[in-house]
Amino acid sequence: MKKILMLISDGFEEIEALGTVDILRRCGIEVSLVSVTGSFEIHSSRNIKVIADNKLEEINVDSSLWDAVILPGGQPNADNLRDNDKVVETVKDFYKAGKLTCAICAAPIVFEKAGIIRDKKVTSYPGCLVNESDCIFTAKSVEQDGNIITANGPASACDFAFEIAKALGLSHKAENVRKGMLF
Amino acid sequence: MKKILMLISDGFEEIEALGTVDILRRCGIEVSLVSVTGSFEIHSSRNIKVIADNKLEEINVDSSLWDAVILPGGQPNADNLRDNDKVVETVKDFYKAGKLTCAICAAPIVFEKAGIIRDKKVTSYPGCLVNESDCIFTAKSVEQDGNIITANGPASACDFAFEIAKALGLSHKAENVRKGMLF
> Of the candidates B44, B50, B182, which has its C-beta nearest A154's C-beta?
B182
Q: Within 10 Å of residue A115's Cβ, how many Cβ atoms?
A: 12
Task: Based on DSSP, count helices (H) and strands (E) in chain B, helices before strands.
Answer: 7, 11
H/E element holding A34?
Answer: strand A30-35
φ, ψ of residue B87 in degrees (nearest 5) = -65, -45
Chain B positions in Cβ-Cβ contact with residue A42 (cut-off 8 Å): none
In whole angstroms, what is the distance from residue A56 CA to residue B157 CA?
31
Q: Is B105 a catalytic residue?
A: yes
Residue A141, min C-alpha distance to chain B (Å):
9
Amino acid letter, residue A36: V
ipTM score assigned to the predicted complex: 0.97
Strands across the sheet containing A100-104: A54-55, A30-35, A3-8, A68-71, A100-104, A148-151, A142-145
- Confidence class of residue B22 from pLDDT cuts 50, 70 and 90? very high
Helix axes B157-167, B171-180, angle to 10 degrees: 150
| Closest C-alpha to A13, from B31, B15, B74 | B15
Instruction: Give the gyration radius of chain A's Cα atoms.
Output: 15
- For the segment B14-34, the average pLDDT, to the nearest whole number, is 98
In whole angstroms, what is the distance from residue A104 CA to residue B130 CA?
40
pLDDT at A58: 98
Q: Exposure pattern of A118-142 as b/e (b: 16+ CB <10 Å)?
A: eebbbbbbeebbeeeeebebeeebb
By three-state DSSP, how is residue A50 classified?
strand
The model's pLDDT over B95-117, given as tens digits with 9 standing for 90+, comes to 999 999 999 999 999 999 999 99
pLDDT tens for the 183 residues of chain A, in order = 999 999 999 999 999 999 999 999 999 999 999 999 999 999 999 999 999 999 999 999 999 999 999 999 999 999 999 999 999 999 999 999 999 999 999 999 999 999 999 999 999 999 999 999 999 999 999 999 999 999 999 999 999 999 999 999 999 999 999 999 999
- Confidence class of residue B149 from pLDDT cuts 50, 70 and 90? very high
pLDDT at B71: 98
> Of the candidates B19, B26, B155, which has its C-beta nearest A182's C-beta?
B155
- For the segment B8-33, the average pLDDT, to the nearest whole number, is 98
Residue A96, min C-alpha distance to chain B (Å):
30
In whole angstroms, what is the distance from residue A75 CA to residue A24 CA?
23
How far does Cα A58 stand from its chain's mean position?
Answer: 20
Share of chain B above pLDDT 70, in %: 100
- Confidence class of residue B24 from pLDDT cuts 50, 70 and 90? very high
* Angle (nearest 5°) at CA A109 between A103 and A110: 70
Cβ atoms of B165 and B23 closer than 8 Å: yes
- For the segment B37-57, the average pLDDT, to the nearest whole number, is 98
* Pairs across A and B, CB distance < 8 A: 87
> Of the candidates A18, A158, A181, which has its C-beta nearest B18's C-beta?
A18
Candidate list B27, B102, B105, B158, residue with the active-site label: B105
In whole angstroms, what is the distance from residue B128 CA to residue B24 CA?
26
Helix axes A157-167, A171-180, angle to 10 degrees: 150
Q: Is there a contact between A141 and B182 if contact means CB atoms under 8 Å apart?
A: yes
